[in-house]
Structures are given as structure tokens and as C-alpha cells.
């Protein structure tokens, strides 16, 4: 990797900078030190996104940062490009943000001002949507969709959740019935739902906090989707918190103080978001802690799905 990194850094004129690996998940992320300047060099996983999709992601991040959202700022190469390719590997550079993640999934949420930070998150989310709706997208802008077909069609973005190999027959039946109900419901509602550019992954790990406030990172999954899906993503991993009703209310009320949003289908989107994780985990089940994560994701998705089915009169014998 050393040769690849040196070649990458040369495109930014940083051949003599120091660097260290800080993350190796969807992308390899390296912290680059050049005197008093610090950057994040991203070596993108081959095949994850096209160069056009990466350019679009970085263009939206640049627009958000310019409009006042605290997010990493894309750093163009010496040739003026946001993305370069080295040996078939896409590479990009961002400014480095200070602070620490708001938390991590699967662990209790700890913060000195719990409702306050969710209030700020709701405001930031609304501002991002307002900026996205006013922004003139550059020519060739392309990102993934989080629409009905991408969530519930034959090949969802994050995989066929109903085919998770750890599902018990009863659980699979519940998720299949939920899929049918959700697809019919979305077909009826989708033309009236708020739809546009979303971050699509506003979980604790992607919210950086420090004494100055809150910043948003990791736009890998950004695309065109339902705004309720965005809200559900920010809430879903906090549903087991003892003060979840207060956290939820803080986020929703602060969002609504910035822009309008019909929340009547939010419970449906919580179910949709939970189901996506049951598909997402399938190729990652072999990773450390994968089995435990899979069981948590299945349990939450089935619980929400069963509750939604019952509330709509879909009562069946799962024994």
C-alpha cells in the first residue's frame, strides 16, 4: 500500500507528508500530516462507486460546506480534480475534522446533553435538505437511489433482507409479509412523500462532536431518497435508549422548526430502515462480531415489522 499512497499523495503535491491508516472498512482512510495542515486521504473500495458517483458525492459535500454545514471539504488535486485513479483504485482527499464520533452502534448512548445534541442533529438534517433542494446540481450528477424499488424490489441496494441465512422460518415469514405490505403502502403514498438528496447514513458514527458543535461525515451512501428514510436512519439505532421518546421528540421538533415534513409514515420508514440492515449484514456476517450484530438486526427488524403488520390488521399465525 505504501507505493499506492505515495503515488496518490503526489497528485496533491504531498509526496513528503506523513500518513497513518485510521480506518479500513468500506474505504481505507489515512490521516495525512503536512506541517500544520491535516487531511483525510481516501482509497476507495474497488467497485463500490463509479468515478461519476464519487464526483457527485464530493460536489454535494462542497456545496454543503460552502453553505455553512460543518462537513469535510473536498480538496482538489493539483490538476483541479476531486477524484483521481491510480492503478484502478479511486482516490480522493478531504480536510480533516477534529472531534469524536457521537457514539457507536450497539453500545449505550453517552452524552452530557443528550436531547440537546439530537436537537442540533435535527436542525442540521433539515438544513442539509433545504440546501439540497435549492442547489443546482452539476452536469452529470449521479447517485444511488433509495426509492421504493431500491428498498423493496427484487434487488435492494443493501441486499435481499428476506434471504438472510440466519432468519428462522417464522421470522422470514414476518419480513416477507412486511415487504408486501410496505410495497403496497409505498406505492400508494410515494408521489406525496418528500423525496430528494439525503445523506442516508446519519448514525452516531457519522456525527462528529466537539465543544464547537456537530459535524457530518461519511457520505458514501448519499443519494436520492425519501426524507423520512433519513429521519428513520438517525433514530433507528437509538430505539433501545431509555429516553428514546425524548431524543426522538428533540430531533423531530428541531427539524420541523426549519422545514415542513409529513411524519405520518415515519413508523413505516423505521421498519424499512431496520429491514435494510438485515440485508446489509449478509456479506459481513464473517467479520468480528458479525453474528451478534446480525441477531440484533434481525430481532429489531422483526419486532418493528410485526408491530406494523398488527397495527394494520395483518394478524397471522406464525407458529
pLDDT tens, position by position, 106-154: 889 999 999 999 999 999 999 999 999 999 999 999 999 999 999 999 9
8 Å CB contact between 43 and 8: yes
User: Is residue 66 packed enough to be buried (19+ CB in 10 Å), middle (13-18) or exposed (0-12)?
Assistant: exposed
Residues of the chain with CATH 3.90.1200.10: 114-311
What would the grid cell of residue 294 be? 446480525
State the pLDDT confidence band at 24, using cuts at 50, 70 and 90.
Answer: confident
State the pLDDT confidence band at 45, using cuts at 50, 70 and 90.
Answer: confident
Indicate whether 242 pLDDT > 90.
yes
pLDDT at residue 25, rounded to an integer: 76
Indicate whether 319 pLDDT > 60.
no
Q: Which residues contact 264 (CB under 8 A, 6 or more apart)?
A: none
Indicate whether 54 pLDDT > 50.
yes
| Interatomic CA distance for residues 304 and 283, integer angstroms | 23
State the pLDDT confidence band at 212, using cuts at 50, 70 and 90.
Answer: confident
Looking at domain 2-97, its CATH class is: alpha beta
pLDDT at residue 283, rounded to an integer: 94
| Mean pLDDT, residues 229-237 taken together | 97
8 Å CB contact between 229 and 273: yes
pLDDT at residue 134, rounded to an integer: 97
Indicate whether 268 pLDDT > 90.
yes
pLDDT at residue 121, rounded to an integer: 98
Segment 171-180, tens digit of pLDDT: 999 999 999 9
Q: Which residues contact 63 (CB under 8 A, 6 or more apart)?
A: 131, 135
Three-class secondary structure of residue 49 per DSSP = coil
Indicate whether 1 pLDDT > 80.
no
Three-class secondary structure of residue 295 per DSSP = helix
Query: Which of 129, 127, 183, 177 shows the shortest CA–CA distance to 154?
Result: 183
| Interatomic CA distance for residues 221 and 156, integer angstroms | 13
pLDDT at residue 67, rounded to an integer: 97
pLDDT at residue 26, rounded to an integer: 75
Indicate whether 209 pLDDT > 80.
yes
> 45: which DSSP letter?
P
Segment 290-316, tens digit of pLDDT: 999 999 999 999 999 999 999 987 655
What is the DSSP code string of 86-128? ETTEEEEEEEPP-SEES--TTS----TTHHHHHHHHHHHHHHH
Residues of the chain with CATH 3.30.200.20: 2-97
Indicate whether 285 pLDDT > 70.
yes
Query: How long, in residues, is the chain?
Result: 319
pLDDT at residue 318, rounded to an integer: 44
For the chain, percent of residues with pLDDT exceeding 70: 98
Query: Which of 278, 285, 221, 187 shows the shortest CA–CA distance to 53?
Result: 221
Q: What average pLDDT does the chain have? A: 94
CATH dotted code for 114-311: 3.90.1200.10
> 72: which DSSP letter?
P
Amino acid at each position: 500500500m505504501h507505493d499506492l499512497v505515495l503515488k496518490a499523495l503526489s497528485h496533491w503535491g504531498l509526496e513528503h507528508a506523513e500518513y497513518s491508516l485510521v480506518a479500513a472498512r468500506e474505504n481505507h482512510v489515512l490521516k495525512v500530516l503536512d506541517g500544520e495542515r491535516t487531511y483525510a486521504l481516501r482509497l476507495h473500495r474497488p467497485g463500490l462507486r463509479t468515478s461519476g458517483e464519487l464526483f457527485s458525492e464530493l460536489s454535494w459535500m462542497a456545496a454543503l460546506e460552502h453553505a455553512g454545514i460543518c462537513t469535510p471539504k473536498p480538496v482538489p488535486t493539483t490538476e483541479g480534480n476531486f477524484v483521481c485513479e491510480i492503478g484502478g483504485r479511486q482516490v480522493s482527499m478531504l480536510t480533516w475534522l477534529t472531534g469524536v464520533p457521537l457514539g457507536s452502534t450497539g453500545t449505550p448512548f453517552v452524552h452530557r446533553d443528550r436531547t440537546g445534541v439530537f436537537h442540533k442533529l435535527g436542525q442540521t438534517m433539515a438544513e442539509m435538505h433545504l440546501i439540497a433542494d435549492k442547489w443546482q446540481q452539476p452536469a452529470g450528477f449521479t447517485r444511488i437511489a433509495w426509492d421504493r424499488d431500491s428498498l423493496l424490489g427484487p434487488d435492494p441496494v443493501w441486499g435481499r433482507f428476506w434471504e438472510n441465512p440466519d432468519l428462522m422460518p417464522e421470522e422470514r415469514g414476518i419480513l416477507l409479509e412486511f415487504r408486501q405490505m410496505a410495497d403496497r403502502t409505498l406505492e400508494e403514498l410515494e408521489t406525496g412523500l418528500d423525496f430528494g438528496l439525503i445523506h442516508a447514513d446519519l448514525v452516531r458514527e457519522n456525527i462528529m462532536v466537539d465543544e464547537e458543535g456537530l459535524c457530518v461525515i461519511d457520505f458514501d451512501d448519499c443519494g436520492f431518497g425519501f426524507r423520512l428514510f433519513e429521519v428513520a436512519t438517525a433514530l433507528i439505532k437509538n430505539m433501545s435508549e431509555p429516553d428514546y421518546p425524548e431524543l426522538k421528540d428533540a430531533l423531530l421538533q428541531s427539524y420541523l422548526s426549519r422545514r415542513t415534513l409529513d411524519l405520518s409514515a415515519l413508523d413505516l420508514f423505521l421498519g424499512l430502515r431496520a429491514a435494510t440492515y438485515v440485508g446489509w449484514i449478509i456479506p459481513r456476517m464473517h467479520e468480528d462480531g458479525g453474528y451478534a450484530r446480525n441477531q440484533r438486526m434481525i430481532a429489531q427488524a422483526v419486532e418493528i415489522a410485526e408491530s406494523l403488520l398488527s397495527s394494520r390488521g395483518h394478524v397471522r399465525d406464525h407458529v
